[in-house]
Amino acid sequence: MATNGVSDSLFKMPTIKFTKLFINGQFVDSISGKTFETIDPRTGEVIAKISEGTKEDVDAAVAVARDAFDNGPWPRMPGLERAKIMAKWADLIEENGDELAALDTIDAGLLYQFSKFGIPTGAAGSLRFYAGAADKIHGEVLKCSGEFHAYTLMEPIGVVGHIIPWNVPLAAFFTKVAPSMAAGCTMVLKPAEQTPLSALFAAHLAKLAGVPDGVLNVVPGFGPTAGAAISSHMDIDMVSFTGSVETGREVMHAAASSNLKAVSLELGGKSPLIIFDDADLDKAADLAFFGMFMNKGEVCIAGSRVYVQERIYDELEKKLVEKAKAWIVGDPFDPKTHQGPQADKKQFDKILWYIEHGMKEGATLLTGGKSIGTKGYFIEPTIFTNVKEDMRIAQDEIFGPVMALMKFKTIEEAIKSANNTRYGLAAGIVTKNIDTANTMSRSIRAGTIWINCYFVIGGDIPFGGFKMSGFGGKDLGLDALYKYMQLKSVVTPIYNSPWL
């Protein structure tokens, strides 16, 4: 396992062009004049100072978003015209893919190759997918009882407040923005304070693509100020939030206490991967390792609870340890690196606390467990065995490179263990038996089930969880488009009806 930090020969800092709020098509200072620092997790050093949005800035952004919705062209524009602008934006995202990927690498610690690879299919792909649906939004004619003609209209919900997480900044940005924009909404988006850079650059490209002023507004800031102002704003019609359960509760409370705005929450998970003893062991080991340690475990759908049928447990454990020891942690710009730094110091400290707590609870540390180097926020891939269901490392979303490895005997035991969590975002099943796969997929309470694969997500697959993983509509697929719309019924008497 490499213990290198940042290699100067592999890295050239991109020029930071956009650090101010983006409101009404312009980059502006915050009303207070305050700024905050965004930090490079590879070194712990300051990248840039970002204008800090507060309630007053959110008010200004909402005012222009409301005017753009009530009086502007975007909601009234034919879907095909919205689609053309979104497609042009997608082209600009791809043309500037190197710079956008580098921004997420220095801001969030993402592997550069991972970020760059995801831009055509993720960011630009989301825009194109929903652009293709923008001119296909329609209601239906209803068969009424009585002498009436009735039909439904699908209309954009209005001004949307988006609050996005820091783990995959650009992908999260377009997961929210693309479907709501296709629906005809206007919006105010708050990027995570840890990772504002790619959102601001994307907003600049939106302006170049022809997105009308006021449709997209980006207000960097902190949750208790800017985020709270969005959640409680009386002129925002819906808030879409991705993040922790604790913050999700606050968002929901603020929405209810203000104008009862619609709420969509995606709140993370503690996803199980269940490996049966008929599985191909090499494939199972690959899926388990990739499912946990991709993007240094900072993924809401990470397979952090790995259940292995007891006959193959020892052999699979050995394969996972071998993979961990060969895993390269270091410079995320180096194509040989498998894992970059955690996103920030707070998350770094939280992960190390959970590792220490796991050992205190009595779990056995198989490998990893330590930080790497003296600069930046690097942590070894960590695997625990002898984990009990009630341990915090088996129940809490650590959001870092920490795997809890456990045994099971029967399919009934596997189902019970998989559902023994307050979350229900995703799950994986590894087996060659179609009956086992079908039984498990129908028994696990989770929003996405992967069979003999993991991390397969895309614009055409609805994404969202059960239980405390959230509710209020899916974040991908056509379901995401419809959650940013509302259904109106129109009824009129038929000519010569006795009701006239």
Q: Which residues are catalytic?
A: 266
User: What are the backbone dihedrals phi and psi of residue 254, each rounded to the nearest 5 degrees, phi first?
Assistant: -65, -40
Q: Copy the structure tokens of residue 209.
A: 């693509």
Q: Copy the structure tokens of residue 320.
A: 């996972």
Give the pairing of strands 272-275 and 426-430: parallel
For every residue of the chain, which 3-state class applies, written as one string? CCCCCCCHHHCCCCCCCCCCEEECCEEECCCCCCEEEEEECCCCEEEEEEECECHHHHHHHHHHHHHHHHHCCHHHCCHHHHHHHHHHHHHHHHHCHHHHHHHHHHHHCCCHHHHHHHHHHHHHHHHHHHHCCCCCCCCCEECCCCCEEEEEEEEECCEEEEECCCCCHHHHHHHHHHHHHHHCCEEEEECCCCCCHHHHHHHHHHHHHCCCCCCEEECCECHHHHHHHHHHCCCCCEEEEECCHHHHHHHHHHHHHCCCCEEEEECCCCCEEEECCCCCHHHHHHHHHHHHHHHHHCCCCCCCEEEEEHHHHHHHHHHHHHHHHHCCECCCCCCCCCECCCCCHHHHHHHHHHHHHHHHHCCEEEECCCEECCCCCEECCEEEECCCCCCHHHHCCCCCCEEEEEEECCHHHHHHHHCCCCEECEEEEECCCHHHHHHHHHHCCCCEEEECCCCCCCCCCCCCCEECCEECCCCCHHHHHHHCEEEEEEEEECCCCCCC
Q: Comparing C-alpha atoms, which of 64, 484, 110 is closest to residue 262?
A: 484
Q: CA-to-CA distance for 285 and 298, rounded, in angstroms?
A: 20
Q: CA-to-CA distance for 105 and 296, rounded, in angstroms?
A: 13
Cβ neighbours of residue 456 closer than 8 Å, sequence gap 6 or more: 450
